[in-house]
Amino acid sequence: MAVLMRYVLGLAAWLATAGMLTWAFDPSSSSNFVVYWGQSSAGSQKPLAEYCKDATVDVIALSFLYQFPNTMLDLSASCRTTFPDSQLLHCPDVATDIKYCQSQGKIVLLSMGGAAGSYGFSSDAQAQTYADTVWNMFLAGNSTQRPFDDAVLDGVDLDIEGGSTTGYAAYIAQLRTRFATGGGKRFYITGAPQCPFPDSMLASTLNSAWFDMVFVQFYNNYCGLDAYPSGFNYDTWDQWAKTQAVNKDVKLYIGAPGSQSAAGRGYVDALTLNAIVGAVRSKYTSLGGVMTWDASQAMGGSAWGQSVSSSLKGGLTKTQARRRRRR
């Protein structure tokens, strides 16, 4: 089995390098693989573009915008330079990589929040004003200081794990009014709640604002992947998606640690996760794919990320695969 897996992964990598197996992100698919990149939680991480050179990754969430509304970014050692007389990061190399990833059919999001940081809004009005700031600094607006220069990110992810719950629905609503002025480019809103339902930080926002994708963190809690099948609560989140979500076509992602050291609990090996994903996919139309924390853990020394992604894409029908493959 191990020899066969190495052969399959090697063949997939060769085909991707040859340009024969390059995939574009498809928001309607159940085969997307999402990675968080920026925090180098394994101790080191490759440049962003390295994760976009084959078919493995479909969505990258840059982590994190860890302070707002006083805008501060942290991308670990991948960007240390700042604008003159400012603590705001200026990352031209990352900007080049963002545009490369987008040219390969990936989407790149700005993840706001995280487990550590100082963030939150005091009112809806402050949140709406900050939505304009994010639009101008990171998306399709204009600002004298843009951390990623002329690279236009594909949307915003809310990984809210602390602070106040105030203002996030107003923030999303204001961003969505800006999206309509984006010259035809499609932008996305995603969220990353913890698996206990309802999520303590995002519950009211999830019920009152539009989300395209929700990356449920099925780890570090009693309802995680290590509790499958009896304690794993994907069914609860599916019920929310179909009955309570503003966007009834919202896609749910199974959030998984990329290695044993990536989370306190919830890690399962690739073969186990692939089996869980297969069972979920056969029963629920809400599945969008798998999210993992993080790129450095999932795609470091092991082939965990490649195995999970290959299994996701291998589970497509021939018609779905043709739609997803870039020509």
The angle, 0 to 180 degrees and rounded to 10, between the axes of the packed helices 2-17 and 304-314 is 80
- Return phi, psi of residue 89, to 5°: -65, 145
Tokens of 190: 């995603």
What single string gives the DSSP state of each residue in 80-126?
--B-TTS-SB--HHHHHHHHHHHHTT-EEEEEEEESSSEE--SSHHH
161 is catalytic: yes
> Hey, what are 285's tokens?
């139309």
Which amino acid type is present at position 278?
G
Question: Do residues 217 and 255 make contact, with C-beta atoms less than 8 angstroms apart?
Answer: yes
Number of other residues whose CB lies within 10 A of the CB of residue 246: 13
Name the catalytic one among 161, 199, 226, 294. 161
Residue for token digits 């302070």?
A: 67
Residues 289 and 68 sit within 8 Å (Cβ to Cβ): no
Which tokens is 13 given? Answer: 């990598």
Q: How many CB atoms lie within 10 A of CB 230?
A: 6
CB contact burial 53-81 (16+ within 10 A = b; e otherwise): bbbbbbbbbbbbbbbbbebebbbbebbee
The radius of gyration of the chain's CA atoms, rounded to the nearest angstrom, is 19
Token code pair at residue 201: 């930080």
Query: What are the catalytic residues?
Result: 161
